[in-house]
């Protein structure tokens, strides 16, 4: 389960019993947990909670714990208690609101937070009579929800709307009476568990888990860890990358059965490896999407999915370009990622995709995957210019991906337009992207098999393609149209309410404002959220 640190220092101790031992934790100075009522939609949490209430400027949405239906907010310490009062007033949505706790006074490690559940456990000295249980319910606004016929002295209570204190305070007051063997509050350990990979460079991959590295904004990432709570991907789902060549001997791609149906659309053979020193781009793109778990220092967002490498070396003819897509179609690709297109910021005029390529792309989208459709992602471009100039990324049957930064802002170079679908974390802030590089002296980094200088919409695009592969891994029956819609509905609207003006490469002004439908020329429908998208895909499965 994904967590983010509040990076604060607390001097507020909280002591209570746990496992028969008194423990001491500390209130987070900045983080507040909100648990939703049944039926409330977690993805809509920030907007619904702040509607019609005057919150301080310091309040911002922090992260989600989907399995527990909990959202976390961050605010300034001086605003925290007032914010909690206002959040608790939203009884139509909020089941309860509480502090997050941390294990030490100054705990800035990801996953260090402890949530307070809305339940507590009471162990009576003797099996309680009904009036004993009713007494506890009445005094503290609780409701008994579970007892144990095998050992009837133990009862679990949960808070009701009549409760005026949190379970820790209630537990301590009950214990002080001396009438009970044990009283303990139930906690939620929010630490990241199985979904943290052991790849040595993972902590450098802020686009997967941003904890504020290099003064970035915690949470300004693709929310990969929540998605990994559902799946790391499955070999049954194949992502085709069409690019300039791929180092298939890289440690992150040599896993048995990792590679499927390799193809070189330039030479018309089955060897898509790079030719010469300049073909470095494809290996890095592939790592963003598909680098295997434990294979090396990096990890892709869909590490267990299968990789179909298709070499597209520079200026292909229209026929060869169409063959690249047709190969993906005929050989069972589920998703296609393309981090290329016309020259950026070159002529300030529209350059169309050839009809032959359009025709084959239409086949992929309309007939691929047995009629469910192959979703094709294209990089929006790095020219800080209108997407409308790009006949590839702007084509109606592909999905255009823009780029944002580790500071949750527009990447300065990213193209903009009405057909931008979503944005994804990439370079342009205080950090670039850490991913796979060609082995040996070739590549972006001559002394390493990895690079920390990748980026552009070239990196954002395979990231979203990999997320689509995770969605299909939990629900392979999704159509291309459904995947596209889920990405839209689960995207996070960054910089909402703080519109900024930009000037493009050609001197024209544009804004990142969201329109009445929720779309921004800069961010599309928002920053991609892998955790929410995979959760939504899971929920749509047929029984």
Catalytic residues: 243, 281, 458
Half-sphere exposure of 144 (CA within 13 A, CB side): 21
Look at residues 246, 204, 275, 207 and name the one whose alpha carbon lies nearest to residue 455: 207
Given phi > 0 = left and psi -120 to 50 = alpha, else beta, which region is 380?
alpha
Helix, strand, or coil (residue 158) = strand
204 token code pair: 């450098």
Write the CB contacts of 194 (distance below 8 Å, at least 6 apart in sequence): 228, 229
Name the pairing type of β-strands 335-338 and 351-352.
unpaired
Residues sharing a CB contact under 8 Å with residue 138, sequence separation 6 or more, in sequence order? none
Q: What residue has token string 């393609």?
A: 465
> Whose structure tokens read 């990096």?
298
Taking a C-beta distance cutoff of 8 angstroms, is the pair 336, 376 a contact?
A: yes
Instruction: Evaluate whether 405 touches 220 at the Cβ level (below 8 Å).
Output: yes
Burial of 277 (0-12, 13-18, 19+ CB in 10 A): exposed
User: Per-residue DSSP letters for 472-541?
Assistant: HHH-TT--HHHHHHHHHHH-B-TTTT---EEE-TTS-EEE--B-TTS-BTTTBT-B--HHHHHHHHHHTS
Tokens for 418? 């009405």
Residues in CB range of 524: below 8 A, 6 or more apart: 400, 402, 420, 421, 422, 423, 491
Task: Tokens for 450, please give them.
Answer: 């990895």
Is 157 within 8 Å of 151 (Cβ atoms)?
no
Look at the block and give the residue holding tokens 């060869």: 320
43 vs 52: CA distance, rounded Å: 18
- Where does 32-94 have alpha helices with state H? 45-50, 80-88
* Cα 180 → chain centroid: 44
Question: Tokens representing 306?
Answer: 């299968």
Tokens for 83? 């914010």
Using the 8-state DSSP alphabet, how is residue 416 labeled? B
CA distance 340 to 393: 9
Which single residue is written with the structure tokens 């009904």? Answer: 130
Give the DSSP per-residue string, 241-297: EEES---TTSTTT-STT-B-S-EETTTTBS-----SSS--HHHHHHHHHHPPTTSSS
């Amino acid at each position: 389960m994904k967590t983010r640190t509040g990076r604060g220092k607390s001097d507020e101790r909280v002591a209570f019993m746990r496992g028969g031992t008194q423990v001491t934790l500390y209130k987070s100075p900045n983080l507040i947990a909100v648990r939703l009522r049944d039926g409330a939609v977690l993805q809509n949490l920030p907007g619904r909670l702040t509607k019609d209430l005057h919150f301080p400027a310091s309040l911002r949405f922090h992260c989600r714990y989907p399995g527990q239906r909990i959202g976390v907010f961050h605010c300034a310490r001086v605003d925290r208690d007032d914010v909690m009062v206002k959040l608790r007033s939203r009884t139509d949505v909020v089941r309860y609101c509480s502090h997050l706790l941390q294990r030490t006074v100054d705990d800035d490690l990801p996953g260090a937070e402890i949530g307070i559940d809305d339940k507590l456990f009471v162990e009576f000295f003797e099996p309680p009579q009904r009036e004993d249980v009713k007494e506890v319910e009445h005094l503290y606004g609780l409701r008994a929800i579970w007892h144990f016929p095998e050992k009837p002295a133990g009862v679990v209570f949960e808070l009701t709307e009549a409760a005026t204190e949190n379970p820790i305070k209630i537990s301590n007051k009950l214990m002080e009476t001396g009438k009970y063997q044990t009283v303990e509050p139930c906690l939620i350990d929010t630490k990241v568990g199985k979904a943290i990979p052991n790849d040595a460079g993972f902590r450098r991959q802020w686009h997967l888990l941003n904890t504020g590295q290099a003064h970035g904004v915690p949470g300004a990432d693709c929310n990969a860890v929540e998605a990994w709570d559902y799946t790391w991907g499955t070999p049954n789902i194949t992502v085709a990358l069409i690019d300039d060549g791929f180092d298939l001997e890289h440690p992150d791609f040599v896993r048995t059965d990792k590679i499927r149906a390799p193809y070189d659309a330039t030479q018309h053979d089955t060897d898509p490896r790079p030719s010469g020193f300049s073909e470095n781009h494809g290996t890095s793109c592939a790592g963003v999407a598909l680098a295997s778990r434990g294979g090396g220092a990096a990890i892709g967002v869909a590490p267990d999915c299968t990789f179909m490498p298709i070499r597209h070396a520079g200026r292909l003819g229209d026929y060869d370009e169409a063959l690249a897509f047709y190969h993906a179609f005929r050989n069972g690709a589920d998703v296609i990622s393309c981090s290329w297109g016309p020259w950026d910021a070159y002529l300030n005029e529209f350059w169309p995709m050839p009809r032959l390529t359009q025709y084959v792309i239409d086949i992929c989208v309309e007939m691929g995957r047995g009629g469910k459709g192959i979703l094709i992602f294209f990089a929006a471009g790095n020219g800080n210019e209108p997407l409308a100039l790009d006949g590839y990324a702007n084509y109606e049957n592909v999905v255009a991906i823009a780029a944002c930064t580790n500071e949750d802002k527009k990447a300065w170079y990213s193209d903009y337009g009405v057909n931008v679908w979503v944005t994804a974390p990439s370079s342009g802030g205080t950090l670039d992207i850490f991913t796979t590089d060609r082995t040996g002296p070739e590549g972006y980094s001559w002394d390493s098999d990895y690079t920390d200088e990748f980026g552009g919409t070239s990196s954002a695009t395979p990231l979203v393609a990999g997320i689509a592969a995770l969605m299909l891994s939990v629900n392979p029956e999704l159509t291309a149209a459904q995947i596209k819609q889920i990405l839209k509905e689960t995207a996070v609207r960054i910089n909402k309410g703080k519109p900024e003006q930009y000037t493009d490469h050609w001197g024209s002004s544009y804004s990142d404002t969201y329109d009445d439908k929720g779309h921004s020329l800069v961010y599309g429908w928002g920053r991609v959220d892998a955790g929410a998208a995979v959760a939504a895909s899971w929920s749509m499965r047929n029984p």
